[in-house]
């Protein structure tokens, strides 16, 4: 155990996830490697079908095993997640790593009070009495700033507002002090004024507790608010990774650059046309042989259509998967 103290909390290497349930196998995640240091927040940014949520769910092994082929390794604080089975896997979920979902209404059980659900989770992982677990649940409710927490522990999910439910889910996810927090678009279903509150809460808790976090989002603005580093995914691959500043200010992959340019931010483009990325994301069951972005890329050359692009290091910790960067370097 001591050997892992200095290592990354999350270490994903060569992750490849293929769904085999349909007519044709779908390669949802391809050759993803990612490490998260202790106390670090990495945002996994991408559009629908980019593989960001599939990557996240793989860490908890949430994919149905009979219809999914997972290759590569995932280690959380030294534990090889791929080899966990049965009781060991159940013990890992919630304690080794836990997850906040997009829709707390669907993630929470509607027939138990929120307090009971947190107590159950704590008792599953910790050796303590029900009264002690209840006390810990109350402390977490105070921590995530739920007003009148004692009364709220008795509430059922449908009796809470959207923002309150998301706070309760954060309390549930953190109740057993997991080593790694996974967040799957936790603010996407919330209104703007509530989203800011939840983002600020997550950031505060992260700092206070030194949480390591993998945060999946489709919203660049959200990624900028919470993350230390951003990994941009497209068609199952990480196409660019770097510090938030590097990726936002000097994006090097044409997809990242296009995504940033296409945002109507601050009214600067009002009345003009947006510089849109043409086309739509590729079919994952039928990926082009070369760079998956090439058919939509304004800079694509002949080689982009045939060769898988290499990972090119651009600066300290800044990498992108693009042939053009190689010739420039």
In this chain, which of 222, 233, 238, 300 binds another protein, going by CB under 8 A?
Answer: 222
**Which of 72/162 has CB closer to another protein?**
162
**Which of 68/256 has CB closer to another protein?**
256
Burial of 201 (0-12, 13-18, 19+ CB in 10 A): middle
Q: What are phi and psi of 175, to 5 degrees?
A: -60, -30
| 287 near another protein (CB under 8 A) | no
How far from the centroid of its chain's Cα atoms is residue 147's Cα? Answer: 28
**How many residues belong to the site for another protein (CB under 8 A)?**
43
* String marking each residue 243-262 x if it binds another protein according to CB under 8 A: -xx--x---------xx--x
| 148 near another protein (CB under 8 A) | no
Residues 142 and 103 sit within 8 Å (Cβ to Cβ): no
Q: How far is the CB of 91 from another protein (least distance, A)?
A: 35
| 23 near another protein (CB under 8 A) | no
68-87 residues in contact with another protein (CB under 8 A) are none
CA dist., res. 68 & res. 43, Å (int): 24
| 280 near another protein (CB under 8 A) | yes
| 298 near another protein (CB under 8 A) | no
Strand spans (E) along 53-100: 68-76, 79-80, 97-100
CA dist., res. 219 & res. 225, Å (int): 10
Q: What share of the chain is helix, strand, coil (3-state, %, to 5)?
A: 40, 25, 40
- Lookup: tokens for 13: 């290497």
| 285 near another protein (CB under 8 A) | no
Name 11's bridge partners.
35, 75
Contacting positions for another protein (CB under 8 A): 47-48, 161-164, 191-197, 199-200, 218-222, 224-225, 244-245, 248, 258-259, 262-267, 269-270, 273-278, 280-281
């Amino acid at each position: 155990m001591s050997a892992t103290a200095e290592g990354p909390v999350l270490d994903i290497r060569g992750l490849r996830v293929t769904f085999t349930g349909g007519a044709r196998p779908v390669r949802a995640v391809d050759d993803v490697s990612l490490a998260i240091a202790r106390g670090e927040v990495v945002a996994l940014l991408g559009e629908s079908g980019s593989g960001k949520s599939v990557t996240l769910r793989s860490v908890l092994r949430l994919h149905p095993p009979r219809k999914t082929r997972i290759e590569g390794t995932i280690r959380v604080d030294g534990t090889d997640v791929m080899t966990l089975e049965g009781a060991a896997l159940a013990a890992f979920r919630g304690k080794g790593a836990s997850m906040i979902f997009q829709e707390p209404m669907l993630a929470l059980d509607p027939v138990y009070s929120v307090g009971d659900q947190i107590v159950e989770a704590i008792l599953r992982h910790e050796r303590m009495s029900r009264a002690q677990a209840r006390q810990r649940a109350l402390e977490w409710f105070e921590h995530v700033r739920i007003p009148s927490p004692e009364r709220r522990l008795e509430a059922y999910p449908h009796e809470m507002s959207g923002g309150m439910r998301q706070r309760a889910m954060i309390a549930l996810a953190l109740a057993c002090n997991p080593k790694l927090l996974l967040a799957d678009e936790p603010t996407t279903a919330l209104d703007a004024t509530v989203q800011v509150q939840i983002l600020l809460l997550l950031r505060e808790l992260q700092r206070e507790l030194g949480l390591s976090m993998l945060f999946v989002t489709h919203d660049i603005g959200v990624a900028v608010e919470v993350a230390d580093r951003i990994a941009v995914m497209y068609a199952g691959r990480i196409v660019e990774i770097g510090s938030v500043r590097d990726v936002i200010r000097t994006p090097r992959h044409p997809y990242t650059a296009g995504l940033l340019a296409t945002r109507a931010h601050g009214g600067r483009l009002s009345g003009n046309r947006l510089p849109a990325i043409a086309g739509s994301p590729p079919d994952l069951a039928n990926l082009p042989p070369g760079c998956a972005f090439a058919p939509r890329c304004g800079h694509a050359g002949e080689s982009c259509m045939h060769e898988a692009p290499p990972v090119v290091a651009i600066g300290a910790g800044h990498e992108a998967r693009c042939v053009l960067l190689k010739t420039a370097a």
